[in-house]
Every structure is written in C-alpha cells, then in structure tokens.
Amino acid sequence: MEIERKFLVTSDAYQQEAASSIRIAQGFLSTDPQRTVRVRIMGNQGFLTVKGASNASGTSRFEWETEISAAEATNLIDLCKDVILEKVRFMVPLGDHVFEVDEFLGENKGLVVAEVELQHEDEFFERPSWLGEEVTGQKEYYNSQLSQKPFTEW
C-alpha cells in the first residue's frame, strides 16, 4: 500500500530547493482505476508498475513495481494507449519528508503538482511555502487520466 497526498504548486521556488531532478516519460497499458498498468522510463532505468483502486479518501492505493531495462520499457511504451506523459521531477527535501514536484511537458505543459509519501494517513508534514490547494483523490490529476485528457485540453 502506498499512502500519498497531492497538491498544486503556487510558485517555482521549489526549483531552488530541489536536491535533484530527473526526466520521466511514461505511458499506460491500462488506465482502468481498479488496475492501472504503467510503463516508465526514468533516466536510464525502466519500471513496470501496477496500481489498484484507491481507498475512499484517495490517499492510499495498492502498488507493485518491478524494474526492467530502459530498452524493454521503450518497447512497452510503444504499445501504450493515449498520450505518453513527459515531465521533470524535482526531489525537494523538507524536514522528515521529500516532496516530489512534477513539472509536466508537452500536452500537459503548465501543470505542476507536488506529492508527499506518508507512513500513515494522518502523519504530520512540514508545508513548503509554495504548496497550494490539495488535490488528493481528484481523478483528473491522476497521471493515467492526464494521458487521456491532458491539462492543455481542460
């Protein structure tokens, strides 16, 4: 189970606070919210990830992932449906947590979201100055949905 909260971002100050950034391309073999199947290329690594349905609050979801080669991931991305998502991910440490800030490119350009992974639903975390409205559980912000209905078409 993965517990995550997701927020909009109100300024680009996170870029100065980031410890690292990496480019990500990803597509979906299934966008069914009950059984999403994602193919990701991150740097020179590939990943295949399966996610189950979210709980009622949208914070928690079964997640299973296996690393594959970037070459295998490239072949599998060619099979994916809809739009291939491209984004730059900034890793921003703050207190006991690391915020993952995704700057989308291409058909989702203009969208920036921050996620923080928690051990428990109600865990305290320090809020960076640029953290905006919470969008946890809002399906239109799921990456699987952004591949079907990208941000520039909203």
Beta bridge partners of 102: 89, 113
CB of 76 to a copy of itself, least distance (A): 6
Distances (CA, A) of 66 to 14, 27, 38, 87: 29, 15, 11, 21
Nearer to a copy of itself, 76 or 113 (CB): 76
CB 114 within 8 A of CB 131: yes
Of 1-9, 13-21, 26-34, 87-95, which part binds a copy of itself (CB under 8 A)?
26-34
Most distant CA atoms of the chain, gap in Å: 41
Q: 107 to 136, contacts with a copy of itself by CB under 8 A?
A: none
Q: 101, 77, 63, 82: which is closest to 25 by C-alpha?
A: 77
75 binds a copy of itself (CB under 8 A): yes
Place of tokens 């998502």: 85
81 binds a copy of itself (CB under 8 A): yes
DSSP three-state, residue 142: coil
Nearer to a copy of itself, 15 or 30 (CB): 30
CB of 139 to a copy of itself, least distance (A): 18
Q: 1 Cβ partners below 8 Å, 6+ apart?
A: 60, 61, 62, 63
Candidate residues 35, 121, 139, 153; the one interacting with a copy of itself per rule CB under 8 A: 35
Q: What number of chain residues touch a copy of itself (CB under 8 A)?
A: 19
Candidate residues 37, 42, 83, 84; the one interacting with a copy of itself per rule CB under 8 A: 37
Helix (H) / strand (E) containing 15: helix 14-17
15 binds a copy of itself (CB under 8 A): no
Binding footprint of a copy of itself on the chain (CB under 8 A)? 29-30, 32, 34-35, 37, 48, 50, 52, 62, 64, 66, 68, 72, 75-76, 79-81
